[in-house]
Structure 1
Amino acid sequence: MLFIKIRTAISLGMINLARVLIYRIGLKFGFNPVKTISAKIEKDFFFDGSRLNSKVRLPFNTDWLQQQKYFGWKVISSKDIPIWYKNVLTQKNVRTPFLSWWSIPDFDPELGDIKGVWEASRFDWVLCFAQQAATGDKQAIDKLNKWLSNWIENNKPYQGVNWKCGQEASIRIMHLAMASLILKNYFNTQISLLSLVKAHLQRIEPTISYAMAQDNNHG
Protein backbone atom coordinates (compact mmCIF):
# COMPACT_ATOMS: atom_id res chain seq x y z
CA MET A 1 0.00 0.00 0.00
CA LEU A 2 2.83 2.40 0.88
CA PHE A 3 4.53 1.65 -2.43
CA ILE A 4 1.32 2.43 -4.32
CA LYS A 5 0.96 5.76 -2.50
CA ILE A 6 4.56 6.72 -3.25
CA ARG A 7 4.18 5.78 -6.91
CA THR A 8 0.95 7.78 -7.15
CA ALA A 9 2.60 10.81 -5.54
CA ILE A 10 5.47 10.70 -8.02
CA SER A 11 3.05 10.38 -10.93
CA LEU A 12 1.02 13.39 -9.80
CA GLY A 13 4.00 15.73 -9.53
CA MET A 14 4.77 18.47 -7.01
CA ILE A 15 2.17 21.00 -8.18
CA ASN A 16 -0.68 18.53 -8.00
CA LEU A 17 0.56 17.21 -4.66
CA ALA A 18 0.50 20.76 -3.31
CA ARG A 19 -3.08 21.19 -4.55
CA VAL A 20 -4.15 17.99 -2.83
CA LEU A 21 -2.38 18.94 0.40
CA ILE A 22 -3.92 22.42 0.50
CA TYR A 23 -7.37 21.00 -0.15
CA ARG A 24 -7.14 18.30 2.51
CA ILE A 25 -5.74 20.64 5.14
CA GLY A 26 -8.46 23.16 4.35
CA LEU A 27 -11.12 20.48 4.62
CA LYS A 28 -9.75 19.14 7.89
CA PHE A 29 -9.39 22.50 9.62
CA GLY A 30 -12.46 24.12 8.08
CA PHE A 31 -11.02 27.00 6.07
CA ASN A 32 -11.91 25.53 2.69
CA PRO A 33 -15.10 27.39 1.65
CA VAL A 34 -16.75 24.13 0.61
CA LYS A 35 -17.50 23.52 4.32
CA THR A 36 -19.25 26.86 4.79
CA ILE A 37 -21.51 27.06 1.75
CA SER A 38 -25.26 26.81 2.08
CA ALA A 39 -28.08 26.69 -0.41
CA LYS A 40 -31.83 26.83 -0.58
CA ILE A 41 -33.51 24.94 -3.39
CA GLU A 42 -36.93 26.32 -4.23
CA LYS A 43 -39.76 23.81 -3.97
CA ASP A 44 -41.75 23.95 -7.17
CA PHE A 45 -41.92 22.14 -10.48
CA PHE A 46 -38.62 22.19 -12.34
CA PHE A 47 -39.61 21.63 -15.94
CA ASP A 48 -42.57 23.00 -17.85
CA GLY A 49 -44.11 20.92 -20.62
CA SER A 50 -46.42 23.59 -22.02
CA ARG A 51 -44.15 24.37 -24.98
CA LEU A 52 -44.12 20.81 -26.26
CA ASN A 53 -45.81 19.67 -29.44
CA SER A 54 -47.97 16.64 -28.78
CA LYS A 55 -47.96 15.80 -32.50
CA VAL A 56 -44.21 15.16 -32.54
CA ARG A 57 -43.34 11.48 -32.59
CA LEU A 58 -39.65 11.03 -31.93
CA PRO A 59 -37.81 7.97 -30.65
CA PHE A 60 -36.75 8.23 -27.02
CA ASN A 61 -34.55 6.35 -24.60
CA THR A 62 -36.60 3.66 -22.88
CA ASP A 63 -34.00 2.61 -20.30
CA TRP A 64 -36.15 3.99 -17.47
CA LEU A 65 -39.54 3.20 -18.94
CA GLN A 66 -41.38 0.99 -16.42
CA GLN A 67 -38.04 -0.06 -14.93
CA GLN A 68 -34.78 1.18 -13.46
CA LYS A 69 -31.58 0.73 -15.46
CA TYR A 70 -28.11 1.32 -14.06
CA PHE A 71 -24.72 1.47 -15.76
CA GLY A 72 -26.43 0.67 -19.06
CA TRP A 73 -26.83 -3.00 -18.16
CA LYS A 74 -28.25 -3.60 -14.68
CA VAL A 75 -32.05 -3.69 -14.84
CA ILE A 76 -34.31 -3.60 -11.78
CA SER A 77 -37.95 -4.35 -12.47
CA SER A 78 -39.44 -1.45 -10.54
CA LYS A 79 -41.31 1.69 -11.55
CA ASP A 80 -40.73 3.24 -8.14
CA ILE A 81 -38.50 6.17 -7.33
CA PRO A 82 -35.02 4.83 -6.49
CA ILE A 83 -33.71 4.74 -2.94
CA TRP A 84 -31.05 7.39 -3.36
CA TYR A 85 -28.69 6.04 -0.70
CA LYS A 86 -28.88 2.38 -1.72
CA ASN A 87 -26.03 0.61 -3.53
CA VAL A 88 -27.63 -1.07 -6.54
CA LEU A 89 -24.64 -3.40 -6.88
CA THR A 90 -24.64 -4.78 -3.33
CA GLN A 91 -28.21 -3.89 -2.26
CA LYS A 92 -26.75 -2.30 0.88
CA ASN A 93 -27.88 1.07 2.23
CA VAL A 94 -25.60 3.86 3.38
CA ARG A 95 -25.59 3.58 7.16
CA THR A 96 -25.52 7.33 7.82
CA PRO A 97 -27.12 8.90 4.74
CA PHE A 98 -27.73 12.39 6.10
CA LEU A 99 -24.32 13.45 7.41
CA SER A 100 -22.47 16.40 5.92
CA TRP A 101 -20.76 14.97 2.86
CA TRP A 102 -17.21 15.60 4.13
CA SER A 103 -17.95 13.50 7.23
CA ILE A 104 -18.67 10.39 5.17
CA PRO A 105 -15.67 8.07 4.68
CA ASP A 106 -14.38 7.46 1.17
CA PHE A 107 -14.51 3.69 1.55
CA ASP A 108 -16.97 1.42 3.33
CA PRO A 109 -16.31 -2.31 2.82
CA GLU A 110 -19.82 -3.19 3.95
CA LEU A 111 -21.45 -0.81 1.47
CA GLY A 112 -19.20 -1.70 -1.46
CA ASP A 113 -18.21 0.47 -4.42
CA ILE A 114 -19.74 3.90 -3.80
CA LYS A 115 -20.47 4.30 -7.51
CA GLY A 116 -23.30 1.82 -6.97
CA VAL A 117 -24.95 4.47 -4.78
CA TRP A 118 -24.09 7.41 -7.01
CA GLU A 119 -25.45 5.87 -10.20
CA ALA A 120 -29.13 6.69 -9.56
CA SER A 121 -28.18 10.27 -8.72
CA ARG A 122 -26.34 10.82 -11.99
CA PHE A 123 -29.76 11.65 -13.46
CA ASP A 124 -29.72 9.43 -16.53
CA TRP A 125 -33.46 9.14 -15.96
CA VAL A 126 -33.83 12.91 -16.33
CA LEU A 127 -32.89 12.63 -20.00
CA CYS A 128 -35.11 9.60 -20.54
CA PHE A 129 -38.17 11.30 -19.05
CA ALA A 130 -37.42 14.57 -20.87
CA GLN A 131 -37.21 12.76 -24.21
CA GLN A 132 -40.43 10.94 -23.46
CA ALA A 133 -42.13 14.21 -22.46
CA ALA A 134 -40.93 15.86 -25.69
CA THR A 135 -43.30 13.57 -27.58
CA GLY A 136 -46.21 15.17 -25.70
CA ASP A 137 -46.42 12.67 -22.85
CA LYS A 138 -47.77 14.76 -19.96
CA GLN A 139 -47.24 11.93 -17.49
CA ALA A 140 -43.52 11.92 -18.26
CA ILE A 141 -43.10 15.60 -17.34
CA ASP A 142 -45.04 15.03 -14.13
CA LYS A 143 -42.86 12.03 -13.32
CA LEU A 144 -39.70 14.01 -14.01
CA ASN A 145 -40.74 16.79 -11.64
CA LYS A 146 -41.88 14.31 -9.00
CA TRP A 147 -38.59 12.39 -9.04
CA LEU A 148 -36.53 15.58 -8.86
CA SER A 149 -38.58 16.80 -5.90
CA ASN A 150 -38.03 13.47 -4.17
CA TRP A 151 -34.30 13.60 -4.85
CA ILE A 152 -34.06 17.05 -3.28
CA GLU A 153 -36.15 15.97 -0.30
CA ASN A 154 -33.76 13.09 0.37
CA ASN A 155 -30.54 14.89 -0.59
CA LYS A 156 -30.55 18.19 1.23
CA PRO A 157 -27.83 20.53 -0.04
CA TYR A 158 -24.40 19.22 0.91
CA GLN A 159 -25.75 16.45 3.12
CA GLY A 160 -25.28 12.82 2.27
CA VAL A 161 -23.21 10.62 0.04
CA ASN A 162 -24.58 12.02 -3.22
CA TRP A 163 -22.95 15.39 -2.54
CA LYS A 164 -19.57 13.85 -1.82
CA CYS A 165 -18.06 14.17 -5.30
CA GLY A 166 -17.88 17.35 -7.36
CA GLN A 167 -17.70 15.36 -10.58
CA GLU A 168 -20.98 13.63 -9.75
CA ALA A 169 -22.53 17.07 -9.22
CA SER A 170 -21.21 18.09 -12.65
CA ILE A 171 -22.84 15.08 -14.29
CA ARG A 172 -26.19 16.07 -12.80
CA ILE A 173 -25.85 19.63 -14.11
CA MET A 174 -25.11 18.41 -17.63
CA HIS A 175 -28.19 16.20 -17.62
CA LEU A 176 -30.39 18.98 -16.25
CA ALA A 177 -29.08 21.39 -18.90
CA MET A 178 -29.71 18.90 -21.69
CA ALA A 179 -33.23 18.25 -20.40
CA SER A 180 -33.86 22.00 -20.46
CA LEU A 181 -32.88 22.06 -24.13
CA ILE A 182 -35.01 19.03 -24.98
CA LEU A 183 -38.05 20.54 -23.26
CA LYS A 184 -37.41 24.05 -24.64
CA ASN A 185 -37.24 25.54 -21.15
CA TYR A 186 -34.06 27.53 -21.72
CA PHE A 187 -35.84 30.85 -22.44
CA ASN A 188 -38.06 30.64 -19.38
CA THR A 189 -36.18 28.52 -16.87
CA GLN A 190 -37.99 27.82 -13.62
CA ILE A 191 -36.59 29.47 -10.48
CA SER A 192 -36.56 26.07 -8.79
CA LEU A 193 -34.34 24.60 -11.51
CA LEU A 194 -31.99 27.58 -11.35
CA SER A 195 -31.69 27.19 -7.58
CA LEU A 196 -30.93 23.48 -8.01
CA VAL A 197 -28.19 24.21 -10.54
CA LYS A 198 -26.77 27.01 -8.38
CA ALA A 199 -26.51 24.67 -5.38
CA HIS A 200 -24.50 22.27 -7.51
CA LEU A 201 -22.21 24.99 -8.87
CA GLN A 202 -21.49 26.12 -5.32
CA ARG A 203 -20.47 22.57 -4.47
CA ILE A 204 -18.19 22.25 -7.49
CA GLU A 205 -16.34 25.58 -7.50
CA PRO A 206 -14.30 25.24 -4.25
CA THR A 207 -12.97 21.82 -5.27
CA ILE A 208 -11.93 22.48 -8.87
CA SER A 209 -8.25 22.74 -7.96
CA TYR A 210 -8.42 19.44 -6.09
CA ALA A 211 -10.14 17.80 -9.06
CA MET A 212 -7.41 19.04 -11.40
CA ALA A 213 -4.75 17.74 -9.01
CA GLN A 214 -5.97 14.18 -9.50
CA ASP A 215 -4.80 14.42 -13.12
CA ASN A 216 -7.60 12.22 -14.42
CA ASN A 217 -11.14 12.62 -15.76
CA HIS A 218 -12.17 14.49 -12.58
CA GLY A 219 -10.33 17.61 -13.72
Structure 2
Amino acid sequence: MLATVKQLQQLWILNSLSEENLEELQPHAKIRQFQKDEMVMIEGDHLPACLFALLEGQLQIQKTADTGKETVVRVIRPGQIFAAPAMFGNQIAPATVIAKAPVVVVMLDKGAILDAIGKNPEIALRILETFNQRLQHLHETVHGLISERAIARLARLILYHGKEYGTMQKAEGEVIQVKLSYYQMARMIGITYEECIRLIKKMSEAITYRRGGTLIIHNWQSLESFAQEED
Protein backbone atom coordinates (compact mmCIF):
# COMPACT_ATOMS: atom_id res chain seq x y z
CA MET A 1 0.00 0.00 0.00
CA LEU A 2 1.25 3.49 -0.83
CA ALA A 3 0.92 6.66 1.22
CA THR A 4 -1.30 9.44 -0.05
CA VAL A 5 -0.11 12.98 -0.72
CA LYS A 6 -2.19 14.11 2.27
CA GLN A 7 -0.38 11.63 4.51
CA LEU A 8 3.04 12.81 3.29
CA GLN A 9 2.05 16.37 4.16
CA GLN A 10 1.80 15.24 7.80
CA LEU A 11 5.56 14.63 7.94
CA TRP A 12 7.38 17.66 9.33
CA ILE A 13 10.39 17.25 7.03
CA LEU A 14 8.09 17.33 3.97
CA ASN A 15 5.24 19.67 4.87
CA SER A 16 6.84 22.67 3.16
CA LEU A 17 6.87 20.92 -0.24
CA SER A 18 4.47 21.76 -3.02
CA GLU A 19 1.75 19.30 -3.95
CA GLU A 20 3.62 18.63 -7.20
CA ASN A 21 6.80 17.66 -5.32
CA LEU A 22 4.82 15.41 -2.97
CA GLU A 23 3.15 13.71 -5.93
CA GLU A 24 6.62 12.84 -7.25
CA LEU A 25 7.48 11.20 -3.91
CA GLN A 26 4.15 9.42 -3.45
CA PRO A 27 4.88 6.35 -5.66
CA HIS A 28 8.00 5.71 -3.53
CA ALA A 29 6.25 5.89 -0.13
CA LYS A 30 5.13 2.51 1.21
CA ILE A 31 2.76 2.14 4.16
CA ARG A 32 2.97 -0.50 6.89
CA GLN A 33 0.60 -0.96 9.81
CA PHE A 34 1.40 -2.49 13.20
CA GLN A 35 -0.78 -3.38 16.17
CA LYS A 36 -0.16 -2.30 19.76
CA ASP A 37 2.90 -4.02 21.31
CA GLU A 38 4.03 -5.33 17.92
CA MET A 39 7.73 -4.87 17.11
CA VAL A 40 8.34 -2.62 14.12
CA MET A 41 12.02 -3.59 14.11
CA ILE A 42 14.47 -5.31 16.44
CA GLU A 43 17.91 -3.97 17.34
CA GLY A 44 20.41 -5.46 14.88
CA ASP A 45 17.89 -6.10 12.09
CA HIS A 46 19.03 -5.36 8.54
CA LEU A 47 16.83 -2.56 7.20
CA PRO A 48 15.86 -1.55 3.66
CA ALA A 49 17.44 1.62 2.26
CA CYS A 50 14.70 4.08 3.12
CA LEU A 51 13.59 6.84 5.47
CA PHE A 52 11.21 5.65 8.20
CA ALA A 53 8.58 8.02 9.59
CA LEU A 54 5.50 7.70 11.78
CA LEU A 55 2.10 8.76 10.44
CA GLU A 56 -0.24 7.58 13.21
CA GLY A 57 0.08 6.23 16.74
CA GLN A 58 3.08 6.20 19.07
CA LEU A 59 6.39 4.33 18.96
CA GLN A 60 8.81 3.49 21.75
CA ILE A 61 12.53 3.29 20.96
CA GLN A 62 14.49 1.10 23.36
CA LYS A 63 17.97 -0.39 23.74
CA THR A 64 18.85 -3.63 25.50
CA ALA A 65 22.14 -4.04 27.37
CA ASP A 66 24.16 -7.27 27.44
CA THR A 67 22.73 -7.83 30.92
CA GLY A 68 19.22 -7.78 29.49
CA LYS A 69 18.30 -4.42 31.03
CA GLU A 70 16.11 -2.31 28.76
CA THR A 71 16.43 1.46 28.43
CA VAL A 72 13.76 3.58 26.76
CA VAL A 73 15.60 6.04 24.52
CA ARG A 74 12.69 8.13 23.30
CA VAL A 75 9.06 8.16 22.23
CA ILE A 76 8.22 8.94 18.59
CA ARG A 77 5.10 10.92 17.75
CA PRO A 78 3.28 11.24 14.39
CA GLY A 79 5.21 13.27 11.83
CA GLN A 80 8.66 12.31 13.16
CA ILE A 81 11.39 10.21 11.53
CA PHE A 82 13.25 7.31 13.16
CA ALA A 83 15.81 4.54 12.43
CA ALA A 84 18.19 6.96 10.70
CA PRO A 85 20.86 4.32 9.81
CA ALA A 86 18.43 2.84 7.28
CA MET A 87 18.80 6.04 5.27
CA PHE A 88 22.16 7.47 6.28
CA GLY A 89 24.17 4.62 7.81
CA ASN A 90 24.87 0.90 7.67
CA GLN A 91 21.18 -0.12 7.40
CA ILE A 92 21.34 -1.88 10.77
CA ALA A 93 18.57 -1.09 13.26
CA PRO A 94 20.23 0.83 16.13
CA ALA A 95 17.44 0.00 18.58
CA THR A 96 14.21 -1.92 18.99
CA VAL A 97 11.06 -0.06 17.97
CA ILE A 98 7.74 -1.08 19.54
CA ALA A 99 4.23 0.13 18.71
CA LYS A 100 2.62 1.54 21.87
CA ALA A 101 -0.69 1.87 20.04
CA PRO A 102 -1.92 0.83 16.59
CA VAL A 103 0.50 2.64 14.26
CA VAL A 104 0.95 3.54 10.61
CA VAL A 105 4.55 3.80 9.39
CA VAL A 106 5.70 5.17 6.05
CA MET A 107 8.91 4.00 4.33
CA LEU A 108 10.29 6.49 1.79
CA ASP A 109 12.74 5.10 -0.77
CA LYS A 110 16.27 6.46 -0.26
CA GLY A 111 16.80 7.36 -3.92
CA ALA A 112 13.52 9.25 -4.08
CA ILE A 113 14.35 11.18 -0.89
CA LEU A 114 17.80 12.12 -2.21
CA ASP A 115 16.23 13.35 -5.45
CA ALA A 116 13.73 15.39 -3.42
CA ILE A 117 16.55 16.88 -1.32
CA GLY A 118 18.35 17.89 -4.53
CA LYS A 119 15.29 19.89 -5.57
CA ASN A 120 14.34 21.05 -2.07
CA PRO A 121 17.41 21.46 0.22
CA GLU A 122 15.15 22.49 3.11
CA ILE A 123 14.35 18.80 3.61
CA ALA A 124 18.00 18.18 4.52
CA LEU A 125 18.00 21.17 6.89
CA ARG A 126 14.92 19.84 8.68
CA ILE A 127 16.47 16.38 9.00
CA LEU A 128 19.63 17.96 10.47
CA GLU A 129 17.52 20.02 12.87
CA THR A 130 15.80 16.85 14.07
CA PHE A 131 19.14 15.10 14.67
CA ASN A 132 20.54 18.17 16.43
CA GLN A 133 17.59 18.34 18.84
CA ARG A 134 17.97 14.65 19.66
CA LEU A 135 21.71 15.00 20.18
CA GLN A 136 21.19 17.92 22.57
CA HIS A 137 18.61 15.92 24.50
CA LEU A 138 21.05 12.98 24.68
CA HIS A 139 23.78 15.25 26.07
CA GLU A 140 21.40 16.56 28.74
CA THR A 141 20.35 13.02 29.64
CA VAL A 142 23.94 11.80 30.01
CA HIS A 143 24.83 14.87 32.10
CA GLY A 144 21.81 14.25 34.29
CA LEU A 145 22.71 10.60 34.89
CA ILE A 146 26.16 11.68 36.07
CA SER A 147 25.42 14.75 38.14
CA GLU A 148 21.72 15.17 38.98
CA ARG A 149 19.38 13.72 41.57
CA ALA A 150 16.72 11.33 40.31
CA ILE A 151 13.90 13.78 41.02
CA ALA A 152 15.66 16.47 38.95
CA ARG A 153 16.12 14.04 36.05
CA LEU A 154 12.45 13.07 36.19
CA ALA A 155 11.28 16.68 36.31
CA ARG A 156 13.53 17.56 33.36
CA LEU A 157 12.17 14.60 31.40
CA ILE A 158 8.58 15.74 31.97
CA LEU A 159 9.45 19.34 31.09
CA TYR A 160 11.13 18.19 27.89
CA HIS A 161 8.11 16.20 26.75
CA GLY A 162 5.72 18.99 27.73
CA LYS A 163 7.63 21.45 25.56
CA GLU A 164 8.48 19.03 22.74
CA TYR A 165 5.01 17.52 22.30
CA GLY A 166 2.90 20.40 23.57
CA THR A 167 0.06 20.48 26.08
CA MET A 168 -3.71 20.87 25.97
CA GLN A 169 -5.48 22.99 28.56
CA LYS A 170 -8.04 21.07 30.60
CA ALA A 171 -9.96 21.93 33.76
CA GLU A 172 -7.43 20.04 35.92
CA GLY A 173 -4.34 21.51 34.23
CA GLU A 174 -2.22 21.19 31.08
CA VAL A 175 -2.21 17.66 29.65
CA ILE A 176 1.00 16.63 27.87
CA GLN A 177 0.15 15.43 24.36
CA VAL A 178 2.09 12.19 24.60
CA LYS A 179 1.57 9.34 27.05
CA LEU A 180 4.46 8.26 29.28
CA SER A 181 4.01 5.29 31.58
CA TYR A 182 5.88 4.87 34.87
CA TYR A 183 7.90 2.12 33.18
CA GLN A 184 8.90 4.33 30.24
CA MET A 185 9.95 7.25 32.44
CA ALA A 186 11.91 4.99 34.78
CA ARG A 187 13.76 3.37 31.89
CA MET A 188 14.53 6.75 30.33
CA ILE A 189 16.34 8.13 33.38
CA GLY A 190 17.83 5.01 34.96
CA ILE A 191 15.63 4.49 38.04
CA THR A 192 13.30 1.73 39.17
CA TYR A 193 9.57 1.59 38.48
CA GLU A 194 8.88 1.90 42.22
CA GLU A 195 11.11 4.95 42.62
CA CYS A 196 9.40 6.62 39.68
CA ILE A 197 6.01 6.21 41.38
CA ARG A 198 7.41 7.63 44.63
CA LEU A 199 8.96 10.65 42.91
CA ILE A 200 5.81 11.44 40.93
CA LYS A 201 3.87 11.49 44.21
CA LYS A 202 6.53 13.77 45.72
CA MET A 203 5.95 16.24 42.87
CA SER A 204 2.16 16.21 43.28
CA GLU A 205 2.04 20.00 43.68
CA ALA A 206 3.40 20.29 40.13
CA ILE A 207 2.04 17.26 38.26
CA THR A 208 -0.53 14.47 38.37
CA TYR A 209 -0.17 11.05 36.78
CA ARG A 210 -3.29 9.34 35.43
CA ARG A 211 -3.60 5.68 34.57
CA GLY A 212 -2.42 4.91 31.05
CA GLY A 213 0.44 7.40 31.04
CA THR A 214 -1.37 10.75 31.07
CA LEU A 215 0.65 13.54 32.72
CA ILE A 216 -1.06 16.75 33.84
CA ILE A 217 1.03 19.80 34.72
CA HIS A 218 -0.52 22.05 37.37
CA ASN A 219 2.41 24.32 38.10
CA TRP A 220 5.24 24.85 35.60
CA GLN A 221 7.27 26.95 38.03
CA SER A 222 7.15 24.24 40.68
CA LEU A 223 8.17 21.62 38.11
CA GLU A 224 11.10 23.83 37.06
CA SER A 225 12.15 24.04 40.72
CA PHE A 226 12.20 20.25 41.03
CA ALA A 227 14.32 20.14 37.86
CA GLN A 228 16.92 22.39 39.51
CA GLU A 229 17.30 20.33 42.70
CA GLU A 230 20.90 19.40 43.46
CA ASP A 231 22.55 16.84 45.72
Q: What TM-score, normalized to structure 2?
A: 0.25
More helix by share: 1
- Bigger relative CO (Cα 8 Å, ≥ 6 apart): 1
More strand by share: 2
